[in-house]
Amino acid sequence: MRYINDDLRDKTILITGGAGFIGSNLALYFQNYHPDAEVVVLDSFRSTKTLSNGNLVSFGHFKNLLGFNGEIIGGNINDIDLLKNLRNEYKFDYIFHEAAISDTTAQEQDLMIKTNVNAYKDLLELAISHNASMIYASSAATYGNAPSPQTVGKESPQNVYGFSKLSMDNLSYRYMKKTDILIVGLRYFNVYGAREYFKNTTSSMVLQFGHQLLAGKNPRLFENSDKILRDFIYVEDIIQANVKAMQTSKSGVYNVGTGKARSFQDIVDILQKELGTNLSCEYIKNPFVGSYQFHTQANIQITKDTLAYEPRFEMEDGIKAYVSEIKKVYEEEIK
């Protein structure tokens, strides 16, 4: 669905992390609905480098960009020389900053701050030099165990990832006071949808449960999963919020969720209906008690009022739209 009617002819858009989950969806959105825009994707792409928890440092994957015809740059946002080249060789009108160390279990605080905070400052300077709008990915992880509904200004991060994203938001507020460019931070809640498979174990439980069911395995949930509630948002609504942020005149940090809390049990029940399965659930102890968000629900009123954002997908709608992709990925990557 096309979310704005603006003509983006002769506009140049940079998408960092453009081979990742959200970034690749944005790149293909602009290609499909605004083919006259020039879209440049920057991504470090995956290698064999891992964090101490065993997860990959970068989840960017070429398969997420199959069908994309724009320019692709392989590089790391921590590379100062690369950023200088971007400043000198291009003229960006919009920057969508999705690149990050996004693993919430990562222990490398040094790498997290360098990548998520310091490199973001360098990109803000790039945006200012080009007079480009900056739209970047923040996160609901900034809230930690803050009570629902989570509201901007009431944060309590419980891990370094959430801290780094809150630091990005605080940096943004300082820049909003000294520059006229548009700066919009979007706090994503629990996102699921196409092109997330290559996030591996950090992909959504919608995808992971779907693949368990397709393999004939009993879905494994934490005990009392009907009481563990999250604001799950389909990726199409994330794209909607990003694109509509281009049109606002008001810089700020905004929640992007559905405004409704749903359970992990709901996910499994809806998937079983869509996949035609009837497997018994297995319930296991939750090893993350004490460092786990048991209830998230985005307060999205300001997002609605300022960005004209309106979530289109209830969980039932999102999973129904996603299920063919879940099956496709299972057949091509797992089976």
The dihedrals phi and psi of 232, each to the nearest 5 degrees, come to -90, 130
Give CA–CA dist 333/149, Å, rounded: 37
- Dihedral angle sign, alpha carbons of residues 71, 76, 81, 87: positive
- Dihedral angle sign, alpha carbons of residues 164, 165, 166, 167: positive
For residue 134, the Cα-to-chain-centroid distance in whole angstroms is: 15
Secondary structure (3-state) at 45: coil
Tens-digit pLDDT profile for residues 294-319: 899 999 999 999 999 999 999 999 99
Mean pLDDT of 97-126: 96
Is residue 117 included in any domain, yes or no? yes
Tens-digit pLDDT profile for residues 222-237: 998 998 999 999 999 9
Is residue 27 included in any domain, yes or no? yes
State the number of CA atoms in the 13 A half-sphere of 8 facing the CB: 24
Question: How many domains are contained in the chain?
Answer: 1
Length of the chain: 335
Is residue 47 included in any domain, yes or no? yes
Q: What DSSP element (H or E) covers 236?
A: helix 235-245
Q: What is the CATH number of the domain that holds 271?
A: 3.40.50.720
Query: What is the predicted pLDDT for the residue at 165?
Result: 98
Give CA–CA dist 300/255, Å, rounded: 6
- Which of 222, 201, 210 has its CA nearest to residue 293? 222
Strand ranges (DSSP E) for the chain? 12-16, 38-43, 71-74, 94-97, 133-139, 183-188, 190-192, 220-222, 229-230, 232-234, 252-256, 262-263, 282-284
For residue 261, the Cα-to-chain-centroid distance in whole angstroms is: 18
Comparing 26-35, 156-165, 284-293, the range with the smallest average pLDDT is: 284-293
Query: What is the predicted pLDDT for the residue at 287?
Result: 83
- Dihedral angle sign, alpha carbons of residues 76, 82, 86, 89: negative
The answer to whether the bond into 149 is cis (omega within 30° of 0) is yes
Query: Which tokens sit at 10?
Result: 């002769």
In this prediction the pTM is: 0.97
Tens-digit pLDDT profile for residues 8-31: 999 999 999 999 999 999 999 999
pLDDT at 288 over 90: no
Is residue 39 included in any domain, yes or no? yes
Is residue 2 included in any domain, yes or no? no
Mean pLDDT of 247-266: 97
Is residue 5 included in any domain, yes or no? no
Domain span holding position 84:
12-334
Inter-axis angle of helices 205-214 and 315-329, to 10 degrees? 50
Mean pLDDT of 188-194: 98
Give CA–CA dist 88/246, Å, rounded: 23
Is residue 3 included in any domain, yes or no? no
DSSP string, 119-164: HHHHHHHHHHHHT-EEEEEEEGGGGTTPPSSB-TT-----SHHHHH
Cα dihedral 326/330/333/334 (nearest 10): 140
Query: What is the predicted pLDDT for the residue at 292?
Result: 65
Tens-digit pLDDT profile for residues 137-148: 999 999 998 999
Is residue 98 included in any domain, yes or no? yes
Query: Which tokens sit at 308?
Result: 């004209």
Inter-axis angle of helices 21-33 and 235-245, to 10 degrees? 60
